[in-house]
Structure 1
C-alpha cells in the first residue's frame, strides 16, 4: 500500500545541491512527488511504499550533500494524490524565513580541473562554478535562493547551460550561479584613467603582463576588490604602501598552490586542510623569510592564502612569483565592491583595474585566522564563514539587534534559537564608515525578513555605534540595553559554546581599551560571572595615558607613565634608550601632564601595558597600526624559556606591575628574555587568580588573547591545574566578537530578567 509524506527540511539547505540530491534519491527509490525551496527551508512531498519512504528518510539524513546542514525535519503523513513523477517546482516565497544562507565558497576540484581542460567549453572561463562552489551570500538579493533572486538574474542561461541546469545527473543541476563564455559575465581591463583597454582573455593576458612589470592592479574578485601586486619586489611593495596609506601593516600573499607555498612558510597538515577548504581563509603562519622584509615589516609570521576563485587561478597560473592580494580600499575604509566606486577611488591606488560585470550585492573582506601551536585564533571573520549562525540552548521570542563596538565592527541578530553575526565591517570612525554600517544592518534585516524589538550597545558614549543605537531606539520606540565592553567579550565565548551560564565562571577580559562602569578606561579585568550577575574581582593597577589618544600611537608616553608611577620625578634622570628618542623638554612636559593629570586619563589596560613594555625595551616606539607593539613583542617570545616576571596582587584587588618594570630595567639588554618573561608572568597571574577565585571554569577573551604565546601558556598552566578553559574558537577574541556577546546577553536578559517594557 502506498502512502504520502510531506517533509520540511530546515537548515543550510539552499545553494548546496539539496534539491538535486532529493530528486536523484526519489528517482532511485521510485518515489513520486515534488521538492521546492521556500523561505522556511526545503519542502518535499513524497508518494511511495512505506518501505521506500522510510529508506528515503534514512538516506536524507545520512547522505545529504557535504555542504548542507540539516537542523531538523518536520514530517507528517498527508493524503495520497497519485502523482506520476517527481519534479523540482518553482520556489515559494511566502512564510517565515527559517533557513540559513550559505557563505561564498572557493572553487571546487571538479571546476578547477575543467578550468584548465582545453576540450571543456568553460576552458579558462573566470566564472566557472557548480553546485559545490562559487558565490552565494555575496550575490543573494532575497530569500529563497533562486537565480532570479540573485545578481545572476541579469545573465539568462544559454541552451547549453540550461540543459545542464535541468539535467538531474549533472552537477550543475539547479546550480544557480552557473554561466559560460556564451551567456555569462566577462572581464574588462581599464587603465587608471578610466580607458577600456581589453576584455575577456586579452584582459587577463594584459593583467599578467602588467603584474610582471611591477604595476598595481585592482582586481574584482568573489566578494569585493583586491589590490594586487608582485610580492617579490620591495620597490613595488613600497609604492603600494604609499598609495594605500599603509606604512607598516603586513600584507597578505597569495601563492599559486601548496607546492609553491611550502617554500615560504612552515605548514602543518591542518594548515593545508584549512587553506584548501571551501572557506579558503588567510592563515598567519611562521615565515621562512624568503620574501622582502617590507612585506611583513620584520614580523616572523606571514599572512598566506591560495587561489579560491577561477580568476585567481588564471592570474597566478603562469606567474613565477606570488602576489600581494590585499583588500581593495584605503586603510581602515570599507572594502570596495562596485565597479563605479573602484574606477573613481581605487584608480588613485591602482595603475590598472581588472573588472567584471557580475554584480556583487554585498562586499566582504577575506577571513583571517592565526595559528599558534596547534590552536587557531580568528582575527577576522568574513568571507567563507558569514552568515552561518551559532545555535543556543535558549530561544528568544523577540528579535535582538546588537551593534558591537567601534573598532573591528560587526553587528549581530538574535532570533529564535540562533545568533547571526555580520561580516567584518572595519572601524566606525566617520560618516562613510557609519553609513556603510547602517546599510549593512538594513540589508541583513531585509534579507532575513525581521525587525529589531530590542537593541543592545556598548556603554561608551562616544562610540558611533552607541549613538546610532540610542537614536534607533528612540526612533523605533524599542528598549535599549547597554552592556559593558569587557563583559561582552566574556559573553561572546559563552554564546559560542551555546551555554546557559548557570554555574559561576571566572572571566578574564584583556584588551586595549573599553569604557568601564566607573567611566574610566578598562582593559585588564577579572570577573566572576553567573548568568546575568557579575562581580569585578581583580584589575590591573592603573596608570595614565599621557596625552590621551596620542598615547595609543606613541608607546613612549605609556613607558614614561609607568616610570613616573614608580619613580616620580627621578624618572627624568634615568638612562634608558627610549628616553634618548625624546627631547628633554618633551619628557619634562610629559611629566608635568602626568603629575597634574592634564589630558592623562587612567587605564587598567593590559593591551596598553604591552605597548609601554615594548617601548621600554626599544622594540616599538610607535603603533602605525592597531596591535603593532604587542605583535613585535610576540615575535621575540622563546617557547622553551619558562622564567616569568613577578606580577603580584596589591590591596586585594590590583594586579601590580611595579616589580616587573623594576626587573626589566635591570636586564633589558636581552629583549627576547624580557618579552618571554613578561608574557609568562601574565599567564601565571591568570593561574594565581583562578586558584583564588574558587571556580573551576575560566573564560578567556579580548584582543590581548590574539597573542598566541600568551594564550598557549595560559591554557597549558590552567590545564595542568585541572581548570576547564573556554576561549573564542569560531569568532575573534578581539572587538569583532563584541556584538555576539551583546546579542547573547540580550537573550539571557529576556529569559532570566523581568520582562522588558
Structure 2
C-alpha cells in the first residue's frame, strides 16, 4: 500500500471503502493515509473477495479496528452494503460520502500532500466529471460544479452550483451498455424547427420519431426501436443523468466511432478520443468552435448538451474527427465558462479542482490545465482514487 503523510490531525481510525468500479480502500491512522491499489471491478466476485481479505488483513496485522467507516452514497454498491455490516461488527460509525464530492476531495488531498503543508484555502471550486455517481437528489450525476466554503481546514458549506443538462437513460444501466439509447432520448428533445432545418441537407422526415430512427436504425430493428421509444415515452425504467460519460458515449455512437456496445469500461469515449483531431494549440486556437449554451434552472447553471447535438447533426457532412474534438472541448469550455460567470465573491479562481474519470480524457483535461485548473498527478482521478477522497472529505468535516 502507498502511505501518505497528511497534515490534518484526527484521533480516529478511519476506513474508506471507495465505490465499486476500480475497487480500492484507504485507511487513516496517525496522520497518515494508507492507500491501496485498484482491485478492479468488484462486481467480479473473486476480485471482491480479494478486496475484502486485504481490508481485514490490514486491521488484523496492525491489531486495530476502525472507528469510522466511509462508503459511497449509492445504496446498492457492494462496498456500501459491506460497510454497513462492518460498522455493526466493529461498532463503528458509518458515513456515506457523495461520489463526486469525494472525487474532488481526492484532488484537494493530493495538493495538500504535494505541498506538504496545510492547504490555505478558505473557499474553492471543484469540477467533477465521470460516467456514474449517485446524486444527493437520487438522480445519476456526472458533470458537476461545486462551491466549497472552507475555514480553518473545516468544511462549512458545499453547494452544487452547476451541472450538465439532465438527459434520460432509457433502461437505466442498459444505456451504459448501449449508448444509442442515450441518443434516442437526446434527439427527442429536438424541436421540429431544428429538424426542419435539416431538410437543407436532404434529410426528409415525416415526424420526429422517423427523424430519430434514421440515426439508430443500424443498431435497432423497427420493432426494437418502437419498444425502446414507447418505454421512453412512458418513462418506464428511465433515469435522469447529468453524466459527462453518457453524453460522450452518445457522441461516439452518433459519429460512428463506436458500435452500440461496450466491451470494456469507457470504450465509446476512448474511441471518441482516439479518433479526435489534435487541438491546434492553446488559447484562441483551443476553443470549442461552438459557443457553449448555458441556462439557469432552480438557481443552478445548466450546460445544455442537446444544443451540442443539434450542432453536431447540422455539421455531420464535415470532418467527424474535428466534430469529436469539438464535442469534448464543448464540455470543458462550457464548464469553465460557467465558473467565470458565477463570479463568486471571496473565491480564488486560480484554485479550481478537476476530478473524476473524465480527468483522464486528454482533450478535456488539457483545456482545463491551460486555464490553471488543478488535476491529480499522484492519486488516480477516477474511481481508483475515490477512497482517498472519502478520507480527505471526512478530515475536512470532523
| Global fold match (TM > 0.5) | yes
Q: Which runs of 4+ in 1 moved over 6 A?
A: none
Aligned to 1:644: 289
Give 2:323's aligned residue: 674
Indicate the residue corresponding to 1:512 in structure 2: 131
3-state SS of the aligned residue for 2:89? Answer: helix
Alignment of 1:402-551 (within 5 A): 402-498=16-112, 499-500=118-119, 502-531=121-150, 532=155, 533-551=157-175
User: Distance in 1 between the 2:289 and 2:64 partners?
Assistant: 52
Q: Is 1:683 aligned to 2:336, yes or no?
A: no
Cα deviations by residue, 1:249-272 (Å, 9 ceiling, x for unpaired): xxxxxxxxxxxxxxxxxxxxxxxx
2:265 to 607, 621, 626: 626
1:711 to 2:355 alignment: no
Alpha-carbon distance in structure 2 between the residues aligned to 1:574 and 1:749: 47
The runs of 5 or more residues in structure 2 that have no matched partner are: 113-117, 193-206
Q: What secondary structure sits across from 2:268 in the alignment?
A: helix
Superposed displacement of residue 709, structure 1: 1.4
Alpha carbons 2:187, 2:212 under 8 Å: kept: no
SS in 2 for 1:601: strand
SS at match of 1:429: coil
2:11 aligns to what SS in structure 1? strand
Task: Name the structure 1 match of 2:197.
Answer: none
Structure 1 residue 582, shift from structure 2 partner: 1.7
Question: 2-side partners of 1:632 and 1:616: how far apart?
Answer: 12
Deviations 1:481-538 (A, max 9, x none): 1110000000001111125464211110000000000111110110001232210000
Match of 1:654 in 2: 302
- String of CA shifts for 1:577-599, please: whole Å, max 9, x gaps: 54333211222211111111111
- Residue from 347, 350, 354 that aligns with 1:700: 354
Q: What SS does structure 1 have at the residue aligned with 2:15?
A: strand
For the Cα contact (< 8 Å) 1:395–1:415, is it kept in 2? Answer: no
Of the three residues 589, 608, 613, the one matched with 2:251 is: 613
With a CA cutoff of 8 Å and minimum separation of 6, indicate the structure with the bigger relative contact order: 2
Higher helix proportion, which one? 2
Q: CA RMSD in A?
A: 1.8
Asked whether the equivalents of residues 578 and 615 of structure 1 are also in contact (C-alpha less than 8 Å), the reply is no
Equivalent position of 2:376 in the other structure: 728
Task: Please give the alpha-carbon distance, in whole angstroms, between the structure 1 residues aligned to 2:209 and 2:125.
Answer: 37
1:541·1:655 contact (CA, 8 Å) conserved in 2? yes
Whole-Å separation in 2 of the counterparts to 1:646 and 1:608: 21
The aligned residue for residue 284 of structure 1 is: none
Matched, 1:748 2:380: no
* Distance in 1 between residues matched to 2:65 and 2:148, nearest whole Å: 30
Q: Quick one: distance in 1 between partners of 2:366 and 2:209?
A: 35
Q: CA deviation at 1:576?
A: 4.2
1:480 deviates by 1.0
1:432, 1:401 → 2: CA distance?
Answer: 21
The 2-side partners of 1:579 and 1:558 are apart by 14
Contact 2:5-2:31 within 8 A present in 1 as well: yes
Question: Across the two proteins, how many residue pairs are aligned to each other?
Answer: 358
- 2:153 maps to 1:554: no
The 1:607–1:599 alpha-carbon spacing in structure 2 relative to 1, beyond 3 Å, is same
Work out the CA distance in 1 between the residues paired with 2:217 and 2:352. Answer: 39
Shift of 1:431: 4.0
Q: Which residue of 1 aligns with 2:199?
A: none
The corresponding residue for 2:11 is 397
Alignment deviations for residues 31-73 of structure 1 (CA, whole Å, 9 cap, x no partner): xxxxxxxxxxxxxxxxxxxxxxxxxxxxxxxxxxxxxxxxxxx
Match of 2:241 among 598, 603, 609: 603
Identify the residue that residue 61 of structure 1 maps to in structure 2.
none
Unmatched 5+ residue regions in structure 1?
Answer: 1-386, 720-724, 751-757
Q: Is the 8 A contact 1:540 1:655 kept in 2?
A: yes
Instruction: Flag the structure with larger Rg.
Output: 1
SS in structure 1 at match of 2:233: helix
What is the alpha-carbon distance in structure 2 between the residues aligned to residue 511 and residue 625 of structure 1?
A: 15
SS at match of 2:75: coil
Counterparts of residues 214-229 of structure 1 (less than 5 Å): none
